[in-house]
Chains A and B, each alone.
Chain A
């Protein structure tokens, strides 16, 4: 079952077009923005520390052939719910982060299960389904946080409740948790703060992913990702494997969101999750990943390039056009554009592979050989 590499030039271009484009954009924008190297480096390192975990959560569903998990937002919402509770119970610092992570697991696993089941009902349309799940679960999240918390679910502290007595305020302050992971063992080197603990956690997750790929379940997932029917014939429970991959992704996304928000130090209760999926997916794709193949290297490269662009674009926009809004819109356009491009390339490739497979099959039938 080896995939033939017929379009080497095309493949090379496809795998590297987006990163190359970004390198060029960054190379033009960095001098124009006028930021100092240490500022830029510090920003990028901070953002790496807080974002990579979230982006890594996208890898496993890609392995299982379910595409970009737009439903990772569900995990982010679970993480936020856990953070609201931890804030109300006044559990501070690293214990607070650990508790929030544990609390988020049942919720994100449940949401992941729901998402996975629905995706199994919509095979071939996983991405759009996951995307729609965001909005659907956002509704449930609002119902829970805006109406149930404080009325049905006890919330002790008036400081996080809305003045009307129920519902959570529009901003949740994580003052007592702020950067507790970032500051633990942090190293300051020439004005660049390196959040060592964050990177240790990220390294552990990377090791987990590498290890997981070699387990029986990981192998099954790859088989399912290659061809569901063949995997089914080989005795793999396809549906179950796919659900597990989504659950793992959702749970990790929940952890990732907690790490992300402890760095920021507060979060807008009702909108903190809404863009996270889009940014993470864009960053992953910028790193050269595609819908069906992504590696840990793509994640790191993607974060660096995407966030450099994100930091410098508004200032560079001002320098070029004299209007700050243009830079803002430009970076949004680029994020969306990258995802669009990746999706188009993926679909074209899939279609080409399908017709190519069809040709092979037809030829095989003509020749009367029984090949698989």
Chain B
């Protein structure tokens, strides 16, 4: 009987850990940035920006990019899929491409250069990491506990009566 209880408990624990691990994988969020920019010199070749690219993710149009423009989208998980509607040169009929790729787990912001990617270049040509600047708002460190004196309900911590000294 005791062995059985222990077994059930261990199993429950294992399930929890498994679910947590799964969530960590499938819930990892990424911010994707799409660049429609000309790569001037990659191993001697030039890859021209498209006239117009429409990025559609999950049936939702997230960006319509002209030359030298950047679009942004969010994606949860690692296996990323999108549909591109590409107009290569002015007056061309747009072609549609389905693209799926694996995103690196550890990168938050991923910049994809579309012309380079579609030309089938290796990863280092089209992939780069986007590191957002942390905005340092002045006075951010103002209302830490014990310093803030918000009016209303906040004051009843009972320990905040220290305005003097």
Contact = CB atoms under 8 A, between A and B. Distances in A.
Interface in B105-151: 108, 132, 134, 136, 140-141, 143-145, 148, 150
Interface string B58-78: 000000000000000010100
A20 B27 CA distance: 46
Given A98-B19, A159-B132, A176-B29, A93 B76 contact: yes
Given A146-B144, A162-B140, A91 B154 contact: no
Contacts of A103: 20
Given A142-B145, A162-B140, A91 B28 contact: yes
B6 interface: no
Nearest to B75: A92
Interface string B22-36: 111011111000000
B82 to A, nearest CB: 17
A271 B76 CA distance: 30
Contacts of A328: 152
Most buried by B among A93, A138, A162: A93
Given A159-B132, A332-B152, A96 B23 contact: yes
A18 B160 CA distance: 32
B158 interface: yes
Given A164-B141, A328-B152, A274 B27 contact: no
A39 interface: no
20 contacts: A89-B28, A90-B30, A91-B23, A93-B76, A95-B23, A96-B29, A99-B24, A102-B19, A138-B157, A159-B132, A162-B140, A162-B141, A167-B144, A170-B140, A170-B144, A176-B29, A270-B144, A274-B157, A275-B153, A332-B153
Given A95-B26, A98-B19, A102-B20, 8 more contacts: A92-B27, A95-B23, A95-B27, A99-B27, A102-B23, A163-B140, A270-B144, A271-B154
Interface of B: 16, 19-20, 22-24, 26-30, 74, 76, 108, 132, 134, 136, 140-141, 143-145, 148, 150, 152-154, 156-159
Interface of A: 89-96, 98-99, 102-103, 105, 135, 138, 142, 146, 157-159, 162-164, 167, 169-170, 176, 270-271, 274-275, 328, 332
